[in-house]
């Protein structure tokens, strides 16, 4: 199947007084129809900047797309004028923002905010738009939709507001949905509901989803494929099972190891030492090397290319080079992976 979205060698930089901050430094990925790609990484790894670039939402200045292309259905978004872009934005590509408190307009009724896109993009009449808005609210699980349309955002709880934000994003049946930490601000129970709503809708509309999060539990729940970002680059990408059951990059090991599993362990968590690098002066070689227990001499000198692990699984670490010593992931990650397979076997029985 053809790719819905293809990002090639994307570089995004911000010009600040201190110098150029290279927030995204050469990112490649693609998303197919009906597929969910999760991007994980710490704050500052460039995951949000990447999605903002896809939407053409990088404020310029200081930001700029330095290099690369973003092909949406074969058309390069980076070369489009603002006017053309705004025809796609909100219609074919929609975004769910992290914070429902700030992404809704507090002075506008919720109904009008949902109808806005419908009237603008689909040239619907007001009454048609209202009908669709009602459907959407019901779709995302808001009861009393008729009444709720006339209310303002402050009359909604956090979870409800996020549902409204999702309804707005879905209004024009987008082909591509960008979700930037859509559930991070929510409680687990509401998070589970929202994720279910998103999956149902994806099934129905066959949209592609780019899902940004730092919660690996959520990733395991929603993703078909996962891209792990570190210091502005994708360091590992693969099917969700590859990333969780056969991770190859030390950073991915670190992320997996730092989450406690419900299988109780009294040992110390595997914490990644240090903090992410300063992207004004990205380190030479492998950006993760200074924090990695597995760094070799070459990691500090030369940047690793993407090594192919299997058909869809790639990782950028010298450990995969044929001359590299064979290394096992840290013990806590290994026991955890063993624990997982056992746990899931039990889960199947229940």
Partner 1 sequence: MSKEKLLEISNLKQHFKAGKKGVIKAVDGLNFDIYKGETFGLVGESGCGKSTTGRTIIRLYDATEGEVLFNGEDVHSVKDKKELKRFNREMQMIFQDPYASLNPRMKVEDIVAEGLDVHGLASNDQERKEIVVNLLETVGLNEDHANRYPHEFSGGQRQRLGIARALAVDPSFIIADEPISALDVSIQAQVVNLLKKLQNEKGLTYLFIAHDLSMVKYISDRIGVMYFGKMVELADADDLYENPMHPYTKSLLSAIPLPDPDYERSRRRFNYDPSDHDQSEEPEFREVRPDHWVLCTTKEMEKYQKDYPGK
Q: Interface with partner 1 by CB under 8 A: which residues?
A: 42-43, 158, 187-192, 195-196, 214-221, 223, 240-241, 244-245, 254-262, 264-265, 268-273, 275, 340-341, 343-344, 347-348, 350
Q: Which is nearer to partner 1, 72 or 230 (CB)?
A: 230
Q: Which run of H or of E encompasses 40?
A: strand 36-40
Q: How far is the CB of 254 from partner 1 (least distance, A)?
A: 6
Vertex 304: Cα angle to 303 and 305 (nearest 5): 115
Q: Which is nearer to partner 1, 71 or 185 (CB)?
A: 185
C-alpha pair distances (Å), 341 with each of 54, 246, 305? 36, 12, 31
Backbone φ and ψ for 82, nearest 5 degrees, come out as -55, -40
Q: How far is the CB of 43 from partner 1 (least distance, A)?
A: 6
Q: How far is the CB of 122 from partner 1 (least distance, A)?
A: 34
Q: How far is the CB of 242 from partner 1 (least distance, A)?
A: 10
Q: Which is nearer to partner 1, 219 or 319 (CB)?
A: 219
Q: Which is nearer to partner 1, 143 or 271 (CB)?
A: 271
Rounded Cα distance between 274 and 44, Å, is: 14
Helix-then-strand count for the chain, H and E:
12, 12
C-beta separation of 5 from 208 below 8 A: yes
Least Cα distance to 241 among 267, 215, 223 occurs for 223
Q: Which is nearer to partner 1, 40 or 129 (CB)?
A: 40
Vertex 143: Cα angle to 142 and 146 (nearest 5): 100
Q: How far is the CB of 144 from partner 1 (least distance, A)?
A: 19
Q: Which is nearer to partner 1, 245 or 300 (CB)?
A: 245
Residues 6 or more apart whose CB falls under 8 angstroms from that of 211 comprise: 36, 37, 38, 39, 179, 182, 218, 219, 222, 223
DSSP state of 295: -
Q: Which is nearer to partner 1, 86 or 258 (CB)?
A: 258
Q: How far is the CB of 221 from partner 1 (least distance, A)?
A: 4
Q: How far is the CB of 220 from partner 1 (least distance, A)?
A: 5
């Amino acid at each position: 199947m053809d790719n819905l979205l293809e990002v090639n060698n994307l570089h995004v930089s911000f010009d600040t007084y201190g110098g150029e901050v290279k927030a995204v430094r050469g990112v490649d990925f693609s998303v197919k129809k009906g597929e969910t790609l999760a991007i994980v990484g710490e704050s500052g790894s460039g995951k949000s900047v990447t999605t903002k670039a896809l939407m053409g939402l990088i404020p310029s200045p200081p930001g700029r797309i330095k290099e690369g292309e973003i092909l949406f259905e074969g058309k390069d978004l980076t070369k489009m004028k603002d006017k053309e872009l705004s025809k796609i934005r909100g219609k074919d590509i929609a975004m769910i923002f992290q914070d429902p408190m700030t992404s809704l307009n507090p002075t506008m009724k919720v109904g009008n905010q949902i109808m806005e896109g419908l009237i603008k993009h689909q040239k619907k009449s007001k009454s048609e738009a209202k009908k669709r808005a009602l459907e959407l609210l019901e779709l995302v699980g808001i009861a009393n939709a008729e009444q709720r349309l006339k209310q303002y955002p402050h009359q909604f709880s956090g979870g409800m507001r996020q549902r409204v934000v999702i309804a707005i994003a879905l209004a024009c049946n987008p082909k591509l949905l960008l979700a930037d930490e859509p559930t991070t601000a929510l409680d687990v129970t509401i998070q589970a509901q929202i994720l279910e709503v998103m999956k149902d809708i994806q099934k129905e509309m066959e949209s592609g989803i780019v899902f940004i999060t730092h919660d690996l539990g959520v990733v395991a729940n929603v993703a078909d494929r996962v891209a792990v970002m570190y210091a502005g680059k994708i360091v590992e990408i693969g099917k969700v099972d590859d990333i969780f059951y056969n991770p190859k990059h030390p950073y991915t090991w670190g992320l997996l190891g730092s989450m406690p599993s419900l299988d109780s362990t009294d040992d110390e968590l595997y914490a990644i030492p240090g903090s992410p690098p300063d992207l004004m002066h990205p380190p030479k070689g492998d950006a993760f090397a200074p924090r990695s227990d597995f760094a070799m001499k070459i990691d500090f000198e030369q940047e690793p290319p993407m090594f192919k692990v299997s058909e869809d699984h790639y990782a950028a670490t010298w450990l995969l080079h044929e001359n590299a010593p064979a290394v096992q992931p840290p013990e806590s990650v290994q026991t955890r992976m063993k624990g997982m397979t056992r746990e899931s076997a039990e889960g199947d029985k229940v």
